[in-house]
Structure 1
Amino acid sequence: MVEHAHTHPHEHEHDAAVATEPTPPDARPKLAVWKFASCDGCQLSILNCEDELLQIAESIHIAYFPEATRAIVAGPYDLSLVEGSITTPEDVKRIHEIRAQSGTVVTIGACATAGGIQALRNWADVDEFRSIVYAHPEYLSTLDTSTPIASHIDVDYELRGCPVDKTQLVEVLAAFLNGRKPRIPTYSVCVECKLKGNVCVPVATGTPCLGPVTQAGCGALCPSYGRGCYGCFGPQDSANTEAMTRQLAELGMSNADIVRVYRTFNAGSPEFAAASDQAAAASSTGGPT
């Protein structure tokens, strides 16, 4: 780019122009944030990073993030954060396009990693829903299932939670910028309870709690206030759901209640889906799980 120097009104017109160096292209890696079927809570978690996000923005170019800015920079993108599950034929096409123009894809939140609360449709009649809810269901184009992003494309990393934990989110971004693997725990919420010195709510009060089979990351938020964990971070890496189901039954939960506790934010995760199916089968026969 060539700029002309500002001249004093009395200076001669033939004074030479001042040439500057060309503006270098933005060398920062480009970040894109995409939304599919979701509540936007995980994108809000990004915005809630506040000071941390400002520091990260110095090292990464936020090229596409409609929730934060109207500015759009064309791809390809070095890092894509994807929120939401796949629920329409258009979603399937779009997620493949995103994968094609993204160097690294990280799915964020329960919707993107396990189908989200909308995965409850996987056990229901979607046509019946449409006929009841919508005046003109013929205008809708939807799938019978809600599925995680990894069911359709290769995903480089999954970040759990409903919503994602902002500390873990910053860790993933920092790890990407430094070319290392994120340090995200895969052990259970029970470990977090022990680290915080929490009293075990199932043992102390008989409160049903999914902590033993749920991945850490929330800081044992619910048990810290005397509530049972309800599994918003999904199954941990070695979830023993059979033992968990037996304990829930011993704590007084019916088979129908056990089905419901597994079918929440991470209903579409294979471990929780299988456990809920087993409890549902037992409920229909009237026998134990």
Structure 2
Amino acid sequence: MTSAPTLAVWKFASCDGCQLSLLDCEDELLAVAGRVRIAHFLEATRHVEPGPYDVSLVEGSITTAGDAQRIRRVRELSRTLVTIGACATAGGVQALRNFADVEEFRSVVYARPEYVSTLATSTPIAAHVDVDYELHGCPIDRGQLLEVITALLVGRRPDVPAHSVCFQCKQRGNVCVTVAHGTPCLGPVTRAGCGAICPAYRRGCYGCFGPMETPNPAAQAALLRATGMSPEEVRRVARTFHAGEPAFIALSEVGGGPPAGADQPM
């Protein structure tokens, strides 16, 4: 009898929210557990089986030299490695250190900073090892997570959207908050996955799921400026959950220019 494929879940620098999304699957998780053998998941159980593992889910960014060494070992043990969440795919909120002096941060936050060993940057997993698949979000969507796990189990490509939140707004019948109310919104450049929750309640998208497949940072910056945001506000809104994403870095950099006309294509 063929043994069930093994699943491992790993944590690096993160808040654990994406691992909790997996635990929050409840009944669906029971069905998944019947198809796989959970061999390493310290958030859920102390039981650990030695690798190699068929699938590894990795949460968190690389922020220490120890992290950089450990992720290489995880990659060696994993036949398929999937990064989950903004920290693992883009460096997370902690990637804000990439734009400042980490030594200054360390001296302000910690009473004994000399005891804290950290890198000057927070980087995504893909900056250190080969990644087979990325699942975006802060936190990830549990439906998308189940889709990825199920697809990998049956040997097909996961069906996860790469288009923008604007598409989901149309599906829900949301009135565009920017057009109707002049509300700043990152929906045109943000990857779908949340179900357009914020626009559904007349709030602009915050970019929780990172950049969509083909974003236009210059046009988005012009749109944000046209809604009344200052250059500093544009920089701040672009440097949150996905501060390390190249598209959002570009948005934060071009956002300091003069307001542009609305005729630029999105």
Same fold (TM over 0.5): yes
| Structure possessing the higher radius of gyration over alpha carbons | 1
Within 5 A, what are the aligned runs for 1:115-194?
115-194=91-170
Q: For residue 92 of structure 1, give the secondary structure of its aligned residue in structure 2.
A: helix
Stretches (4+) displaced over 4 A: none
Find out whether 1:109 has 2:79 as its counterpart.
no
Aligned to 1:233: 209
* Unpaired stretches in structure 2, ≥5 consecutive residues: 261-266
Given residue 162 of structure 2, which amino acid in structure 1 is its aligned partner?
A: T
Find out whether 1:215 has 2:195 as its counterpart.
no
CA distance in 2, matches of 1:193, 1:44: 27
- How far 1:85 moved relative to its partner? 0.4
Q: Is the 8 A contact 2:6 2:39 kept in 1?
A: yes
Q: Of the candidates 163, 168, 174, which is equivalent to residue 198 of structure 1?
A: 174
Given residue 257 of structure 1, which amino acid in structure 2 is its aligned partner?
A: E
Q: For residue 161 of structure 2, give the secondary structure of its aligned residue in structure 1.
A: coil
Aligned to 1:88: 64
Given residue 113 of structure 1, which amino acid in structure 2 is its aligned partner?
A: T
Given residue 133 of structure 1, which amino acid in structure 2 is its aligned partner?
A: V
Find out whether 1:277 has 2:253 as its counterpart.
yes
- How far 1:32 moved relative to its partner? 0.4
- How far 1:288 moved relative to its partner? 5.1
CA distance in 2, matches of 1:136, 1:246: 44
Number of residue-to-residue matches in the alignment: 260
CA distance in 2, matches of 1:279, 1:228: 17
CA distance in 2, matches of 1:48, 1:260: 31
Given residue 279 of structure 1, which amino acid in structure 2 is its aligned partner?
A: G
- How far 1:135 moved relative to its partner? 2.3
CA distance in 2, matches of 1:278, 1:125: 22
Deviations 1:208-228 (A, max 9, x none): 000000000110111111110
TM-score by length of structure 2 reads 0.95
Q: Is the 8 A contact 2:59 2:88 kept in 1?
A: yes
- How far 1:278 moved relative to its partner? 2.8
- How far 1:277 moved relative to its partner? 2.3
- How far 1:187 moved relative to its partner? 0.4
% identical aligned pairs:
63
CA distance in 1, matches of 2:125, 2:198: 28
Aligned to 2:37: 61
CA distance in 1, matches of 2:27, 2:134: 24
Given residue 149 of structure 2, which amino acid in structure 1 is its aligned partner?
A: L
Aligned to 1:10: none
* Unpaired stretches in structure 1, ≥5 consecutive residues: 1-23
CA distance in 2, matches of 1:109, 1:205: 31
Q: For residue 222 of structure 1, give the secondary structure of its aligned residue in structure 2.
A: helix
Aligned to 1:263: 239
CA distance in 1, matches of 2:173, 2:239: 29
RMSD: 1.2
CA distance in 2, matches of 1:109, 1:34: 12
- How far 1:133 moved relative to its partner? 1.9
Q: Is the 8 A contact 2:84 2:134 kept in 1?
A: yes
Q: For residue 167 of structure 1, give the secondary structure of its aligned residue in structure 2.
A: helix
Given residue 135 of structure 1, which amino acid in structure 2 is its aligned partner?
A: A
